[in-house]
Structures are given as structure tokens and as C-alpha cells.
Amino acid sequence: MQAALHPYIDVHAHIGQTVSRSRPIGQDLARYMARMATSSVHAAIISPTAGGPQSRGVLDTKAQNLEIAEACKAFPDRFPVGLGIVEVRHQRAGVDELERSIREDGLLGFMCHPILSGHALEEELNPFLEVVHAHGGLCLLHLSGTSAKIAAYAKRYPDIAFIIGHASMSREVEQDIVEHCGSADNIWLDLAQKPDPEEDLWTLHELVSRVSLSRVMFGSDAPYYDYRRVQHLIENSSLSESEVVQVASGNATILIRKFKPHWELPMAAVEAPTGHPDNDIWITNGRRLT
């Protein structure tokens, strides 16, 4: 599959290992950078994988957060924003770790996943959101039921920028998001996944015609899928050239500059680390994009 024509910013990428699957799956930083190098992804907002090791409880969460922080410090141009992960089952200890990761490590908020991170987008997330709100940060939330839950968070915490992951997963998801979140200016959408092959073909034009184009961004959900297929859909959509650029990188650049005002998207491609052949780095176990 050919690399995309435009430079991309990936707002939904994970580093680490998901062990709570029938076959563990994950990627380290070098493997992801090898993928970036062959797919026109020039920068990314990164976070840990959900469902990672938890044998040591919150100490494992801290280790995952530190891995993200170290990547951002090593490559600040490629990874200008890093998010931690929260497990609501850790309760106060988890809240304290989130505060520590923001104050000491420079992370800007958190990513969490329903079931894998032990939440249902209800009251249990409020203590964590209060920490991010105090710092004016960013949260990437996966849907759990209706997006009305995220809309309620966005209203309660106006100083948080929210990304809804997988806004393009199905027409039902799209319709729900449009209904509940279409007018919320602190909610952004990522396109990490296309519909199942048996569903009607997803068209980007339908989504951006119903919400503000300025809040739709590319996301990969790496390491779970071959995200080049979504890039292909974006590049071959009915959007204009300038609109494709907005989705590929322009909107994400504006979001990142809310937190890093002087950041510039690198125009040069990522230099691929050695030892990652192309036929290896694109092996995934996500059925939607295989």
C-alpha cells in the first residue's frame, strides 16, 4: 500500500502492550516510528495502550506514563503532546498518579478505554477530569454507549479539550455524535477506524458535512490496525485539497498549539529505525482494517 501524499498528524496512537486480549498486541516506540516513516505520519499525540500490565497496580500505570513522557522528551518535534492512562479502580492512588504525571512528566491529560480501563463514562471519571481541568489539558475518550456522556463532560469541564476516538466507526456512532456533540467547541473527533467491510462504505464527506470540518482529525489507533487504509479513504474522498490538509494535519496542528503555541509540524519524514522490515511492521490483529 502506497504512503499517503500529505503529511499527517496522528492524534490517536498508543505505545505499549495490551495483554488483556486473546493474543497480546502492542508496539514499542521504535516500531511505531517505523510505521510513521512509511505512512507519511510526521507527528503524533501518543498515549499508553489500554489493557496493559497491571500486576503491580498503579506502579504499572506510572511506568506506562513514564514511557510516554520519555518519548515526548526524546522527540519533542514528533511527539509534542503525550497523554497518560488512568484506571478508575485505582481510585485516589490513580488520581495522584495522574497529577504527578502532569506536574513532573509534562503529560497533558489522559486516555482511557471503557472496560479495559474500568470505566463507563460516568461519575467515576470526575476525580480524574478535575485534575486535567485544573491544568487546562486534553483527554482522549473512547465511547461507552452514547456520546451524550462526553457532551456532559465537555459542558462541565470547559477548560478540557476532548477527543472522541473512532468517530467514523459506523453510521450509528456518527449520528449519535452529531446529535449530542456537534455544537460543542471543545470536542474534537478522530477517524481511527472505518466501518466493517460489510457495512455501507464510509465517506468522510458525510461526517464533515454534519459537524464542523475544523474539529475532524486523523487518528490511527496504532498498533491495532493498518491505518493506511483510512489515509487512503481521506486522500480519495470528495473533499477539496485544502479540506484534506485540514483533516490530515491542519486541525491537529491547531489543537496541539493550544498547549504548545510555538510547535511546528516537521515537514521531513520520520527517519525509520533499523531492524523493522515493512512486511513486519504492518502485521496487526484488528479485524476492521486487515
Give yes or no for a contact between 141 and 150, defined as CB atoms under 8 angstroms apart: yes
The pLDDT tens digits of the residues spanning 252-269 come to 999 999 999 999 999 999
Statement: 8-289 belongs to CATH 3.40.50.12280: no
Q: What is the mean pLDDT of residues 101-120?
A: 91
The pLDDT tens digits of the residues spanning 130-185 come to 999 999 999 999 988 899 999 999 999 999 999 999 887 777 888 899 899 988 99
Give yes or no for a contact between 158 and 186, defined as CB atoms under 8 angstroms apart: yes
Judged against a pLDDT cut of 50, whether residue 289 lies above it is answered with no
Cβ neighbours of 254 (radius 10 Å): 14
Burial group, residue 263, by CB count within 10 angstroms (0-12, 13-18, 19+):
middle
CA gap 91, 79 in Å, rounded: 29
- Distance separating the N- and C-terminal Cα atoms of the chain: 12
Nearest alpha-carbon partner for 218 in 5, 11, 33: 11
The DSSP-derived string for 117-141 is TS--SSGGGHHHHHHHHHHT-EEEE
Nearest alpha-carbon partner for 229 in 287, 276, 142: 287
Matching residue, cell 496541539: 256
Judged against a pLDDT cut of 70, whether residue 120 lies above it is answered with yes
Residue extents of the structural domains in the chain: 8-289
Judged against a pLDDT cut of 70, whether residue 128 lies above it is answered with yes
Label the pairing between strands 161-164 and 138-141: parallel
Q: Identify the weakest region by mean pLDDT among 50-59, 62-71, 89-98, 188-197.
A: 188-197
